[in-house]
Structure formats: structure tokens, C-alpha cells
Chain A
Amino acid sequence: MINDYKSRNSLLDTYRPAIVRLAGNLIAASFPLMKIYPAHACLEQAAARGVIDPDTLIVESSSGTMALGLAIACRWSGYKLAIVSDAACDPLVTMRLKDLGADVTIVPAPLAVGGYQRARLNKVDEICRLVPNSWWVNQYDNVDNAQSYSALAADLVESLGRIDCIVGTVGSGGSVCGTANYLRMLFPHLYVVGVDTLGSVLFGQPDEHRTLRGLGNSLLPQNLDHTVFNEVHWVTAAEAYTATRILHRDTALFRGGTSGACWLVARHWAENHPDQRTVCLFPDDGYRYLQSIYDDAYMTQNNLWIESFPEPRPVKHPLDAGPKWSYLHWARRSYGVVTGLKNASNGQVLSAA
């Protein structure tokens, strides 16, 4: 059956993941652009609740795939969109955002406390105050982000039946927490592995500059429910990028850096648990990374090639993670219980320790 491009399901159908078996017990959900799911659902649910109307200016802070997802979903639904980004936003994404009709504002400089993240959120606040009929999507705290992954969970369970383990990179927490919570209705013993990067506050590391983008965060989003996770891994940019290239060579899957990070961890877990059907989430394709991950000169100059992957090192506390691939048995505990810190309040930027 051919979908009309304007029909209700066409957007999600077009961006549906390929479900690919990578090894006997390892299956990937490989998305062209995963963020279409939350972008579409956040708009649809806001419209259903009457929070937005056809004239509302949609506003979001993002330098990556959420911006692109929203630009596509807004164009498809007919909403105006303002994206606040920073210098880290690559020109390819900016070009595409503009072509899709989004208004892109680049914040010029990071703030002393909170860096670019806080500077971008201040700008969002400014736009929302300036434009009366505007609405901030707020993917980090908007429950419709996590809830939108019902479509993925439904696809996975229909294609695979029983699922024992899910591995995914964590940024807003939406994809992993959302998908895992749906799957646990059916498979209560589902084992959930989160993949983060060193210098991200999500699982208790101090906030630092991060080379690896598309996962990790300088803020604790409300969509991140720490008690979902059985295990948390921290990987480096070099490990993730090299894995992305090897994934491409081994399987011809042309993926972004987060997919590489996810695959590295998922493959290790699946090899060590041969009787457990493991699903890993690959959030975007490789085109954005042609001049970085897929550029040999870039990889060499920035010391991002590694000869072999280290065996992941178990740690007892998030502060012990690094400098290479490390992991912690999170055991579905809260942030406070694992880190010994008071749960950081929403939106608070945790400064480097």
C-alpha cells in the first residue's frame, strides 16, 4: 500500500526503523532519524490538549537531531519553528533546518555557569516572552517525548516477540526510558543498559567538555528515570567513533556516532549473554558525520582511531568511571542512592566538580 505523504501515519512510516539482526541474539532498530517520533508526538499531543494552534510558533533548543526532527514534523504539520542552537550545530543541519523553513538562532557564547546549554535555554525563554503565541517543546521534560516510543515498542514486540535486554544511548532519556517502560509491561524482567559518555551529568559524572555528541547531557532531564536502568556504560569519543566505522565496514550500516557507541556496548553485552535476545537502538544515519567520523584525516588528527576496544571496566561509583570504557551495575537505583548526591533539581546545571 502506498501512503499519501500527508496521511496520518506517513511521517512515522517514512522514518520507521529497519529491524536488523546483527548476530544470533543481537537485533538493531536502525532509524533514519529517531527524533521524528518524539517531535511528531509532542506536536500531536500539544495540539490535542489545545496547548498549540496552527499559528503557534514552536520553539526548541537543540543543535542536533531533535532540531531536525522538529523541523520535519513542523513542516509536515504546518507549524512555524524557531530553533536555538550554538556553534556546535554543524552547517549541514543548519542548511537543512533553514530549507525546512525553521528560523535558526545561534547563541554567540557559552555562559560561565551552564555553558552553551544554559545560554540556549535563556534564548528560548526570551523568544517565548517576545512572541505571545509560542510554545517551548522542552524535549527534556516533556512526557510526550518518552511516551512517543510506543510506536517503536510496538514495532519491536511485533517483529521479535520476547525481548530480554535493550541497549540505548541516553540524552534526554526519552527513547530508552520510554521504550523500556512499554516493554516491561510485557517483559517485567527486561534488562536495560544505558550508554552515556564521560563528562555527562546524566549518571553522576561531573559536567565537562564532551567530544562525543548526541548522547550525554549537562542537565538532568525529567524524562530520565534512573530507576529504569540495570546497567550504565560510559564510552569515549574514540571508542564510539571507531565502533561506528567498524559497524559500517562489518555490516554496511551507515550510522552516526551514537549508533556506534550503542553497538559497542550492545555487542559486548549480547556476546556475554548468548541466551538473551538483545535489542539496540541506532538513532541516526551517517551523513552528518561525513566530515568527522567518516573522514580518515579527521579521525587521525584528533587521535580518534583506536587499535582495539578495551574490556569495559566495572566501577562502583560514577566518579570512578574513565578514562576509558567503564560500566556500573546501576541496579535500578535512584540517582541519589547511586551517587550519594541529592537528586539535582530539574533544569539545574551541575557545574564541574
Chain B
Amino acid sequence: MNAAYQTQICSQIVHESGQGHAIAQFGELFQGVARDDEGKLHRCLVSLPCDKLSSTAKFISAASGDLLVTPASKQKAQKAARIALEYLGSPVQSGTLIVESNIPEGKGMGSSTADCIASIMAVAAVLERRPEPQQVAEIVVKAETASGNVMFNQPVLFAHREGRVLENYFRSVPTMLVLGFDTEGDKIVETLLFPPAVYSAKEIEQFRVLRAALRRAILTHDARLLGSVATASAEINQKFLPKPLFAEICHSLREVTVLGVAVAHSGTVSSILLDAQDPQCNAKVDLILSRLESFGIQNILQFRT
């Protein structure tokens, strides 16, 4: 038992109830593998954050009884709250967790990650604690095995099955206008049932180049380069979880200069990344929206990074 944990033991219930909030993601800007300082390979990603959608959790502590969750389907959130109570050294393990979210599930939009983060933050609020993003990440990964990295509020290269940050850029994501959509309205992808991609030696080397480009793009705020990274990452991963219509959509937009495309690496959503500073941005958005509609795609979400 380490010293940090010792201090956590002293937590006490300060408030009867607490709230937590977390935003969605819209697939990933990058997903692949990267080496750590020892040369060991890790599966990792950088989420594309989307603050248009979010999850809010309320935790009401109780002196005894079960840890209940509403709606009952939010079992990962319940598990995250339970782990958080223990991890933050709460004297009680009982209460009611109420999760409200407008993030669609099974689409690669990080609905369960957001639920878990919101729940952990709600529990922490009751204890009047401010857990570090790294602690939140560890709890989320324990609760749901693999997660996005939105708990960091900044892009990090995140080993999503370990809850470990491989590289922190200490910068925000370059500003982009995102047109997000779902090519498979009915389909959902359960992250844990979807087998992790097995990358070839060649792809591992390609990711090395993309990782370097990613670092440059974030550090120099180069949205164009970031768009190229997202596109290349999408192309490599396309064979593991193909997005129907995706190639056709890209083809139909070939004459429109955009920053790139991003896809959910475990999910069904895709997005087109545009330069918000581009004077022709509005015209491009109109054109892209009409093309997407001609493919029968509705509910296109517009947001900025």
C-alpha cells in the first residue's frame, strides 16, 4: 500500500450528493501502436473530442445498502462508481447513481467512457476530491477494459487498454470544424466483442511515422497535418472494421479540399475534418452536407475541436 493510497483512506463523505460531467468523442484521430521508452509496443489512440454531446452523473450517497444505478443498463458506470469509491477511500460503498447522457451507444462516440468519467467525478464530488486525469483513466479502464482519453481534456497518446499515457503533448487539439455522421444507423459495435486489430510489421512502422506527424501537428497547431494523420490512420484501420459507403463518400468529395477524415476504430461513426479558418468553409460545408444527404445520411453533427 503506497503513501498516496494511505491518504486516500482518510476520505470522508463531505456532501450528500455530487455531480460529474464528461464529453463525448467522435471516433479517433489516431489509433494504432506505439513504442514506449523500452521499445515495448502498446495499443494506443488519440480521441477526437466532441463537446456537443455529453454524459452527466449524479451520485447520492447512502449510509448502507447497495450501489444502485439508474438507468439499470449503465452497468459500466456503476462499476466505475464502485471502483472510484474504493479507490478514493470512501467510508461507504452505498448510494444511488443517476446517469443521463445524450451520447449514442455502440457508435464509437465514447458513451460508456463518458458515463464512467461522469460517475467517477460525481463520486469524487461527494468526497470533495479532485482525482488526477491519470487516476480517472485507471479507474475507467478497470471498469470498461478499453476507453477513450477525453478525461485528460487535452490530446494524449493513450494506451487505451492499460489506462496509460504514452505521450502527453500539453497542447490543445488544433481548431477544426467537424462534420460527423453515422453510415450504419442500425448497427452497434460492442468494443469488447470486437477483436483488437492485429497489425503487420509494415503497419507498425507506418504508425511510427504517423506518431511523429501527430506530435508535430499538435505541437505546431497544424490542423492540416493532423487531418492527414487521421486520414492515414483511418486507411490503415479500415480493413479491420470497414465503414460501408466510406470509400464512396470520400470519392464523391475528392474535388473538395478538406483537412482529412476520421473514423471510429471501434464503432460506426466517421467524420470529415475542415479548416474553420478557410474562407470557403461554409460553402464546403453546404456541399458536403448535400452529398452526404444524397447517400441517405441524416443527422449530421457539426462541431468544433
A interface residues with partner B (beta carbon < 8 Å): 8-9, 45, 48, 143-144, 147-148, 150-151, 153-155, 157-158, 161-162, 182-183, 185-187
Contacts and interface: CB of A to CB of B under 8 A. Distances in A.
A345 B39 CA distance: 38
Contacts, number: 58
Contacts of B220: 161
Contacts of B213: 154, 157-158, 186
Nearest to A182: B209
A16 to B, nearest CB: 13
A157 B205 contact: no
A155 B235 CA distance: 22
Contacts of A158: 212-213, 215-216
Contacts of B216: 157-158, 161
Contacts of A157: 209, 212-213, 216, 225
Instruction: Give the interface SS of chain B, mostly helix, strand, loop or mixed.
Output: helix
B228 interface: yes
B202 to A, nearest CB: 6
B205 A147 contact: yes
A144 to B, nearest CB: 8
B210 interface: yes
Nearest to B39: A8
B209 A186 contact: yes
Contact of B39 (A9, A150, A153): A9
Interface string B194-227: 0000000110011011111101110010101100
A182 B206 contact: yes
Given A154-B209, A185-B235, 20 more contacts: A9-B39, A48-B201, A147-B202, A148-B205, A150-B209, A151-B208, A154-B208, A154-B211, A154-B212, A154-B213, A155-B212, A157-B213, A158-B216, A162-B224, A182-B206, A185-B209, A185-B228, A185-B232, A186-B213, A186-B232
A144 B201 CA distance: 9
A206 B126 CA distance: 81
Contacts of B202: 143, 147
Contacts of A185: 206, 209-210, 228, 232, 235
Nearest to A144: B201
Nearest to B225: A161
Contacts of B211: 154
> By CB atoms of chain A within 10 A, which of B39, B201, B217, B220 has the most?
B201
Interface in B137-179: none
Contacts of B224: 162
A186 B201 contact: no
Size bracket of the B interface? 20 to 34
B24 interface: no
5 contacts: A148-B205, A153-B209, A154-B208, A154-B211, A158-B212
B256 to A, nearest CB: 15
A305 B217 CA distance: 45
B206 A150 contact: yes
Contacts of A48: 201
A45 B201 contact: yes
B103 interface: no
B248 interface: no
A162 B225 contact: yes
B89 to A, nearest CB: 37
Contacts of A187: 228
A197 to B, nearest CB: 29
B77 interface: no
A151 B205 CA distance: 8
A187 B260 CA distance: 11
Contacts of B225: 157, 161-162, 186
Given A157-B213, A158-B213, A162-B224, A150 B232 contact: no
A182 B205 contact: yes
> By CB atoms of chain A within 10 A, which of B202, B220, B229 has the most?
B202
Contacts of A8: 38-39
Contacts of B217: 161
Contacts of A144: 201
A186 B234 CA distance: 12
A182 B232 CA distance: 10
Contacts of B39: 8-9
Q: Which 8 A-B pairs have the closest CB atoms?
A: A154-B212, A150-B205, A158-B212, A185-B232, A186-B228, A8-B39, A153-B209, A182-B209
A186 B229 CA distance: 6
A48 B217 CA distance: 32
Nearest to B229: A186
B148 to A, nearest CB: 24
A48 B204 CA distance: 13
A151 B235 CA distance: 21
A206 B224 CA distance: 44
B292 to A, nearest CB: 23
A151 B209 CA distance: 7
A324 B92 CA distance: 86
A144 B211 CA distance: 20
A95 B235 CA distance: 48
A182 B217 CA distance: 17
Nearest to A162: B225
Given A186-B229, A186-B232, A150 B222 contact: no
A232 to B, nearest CB: 25
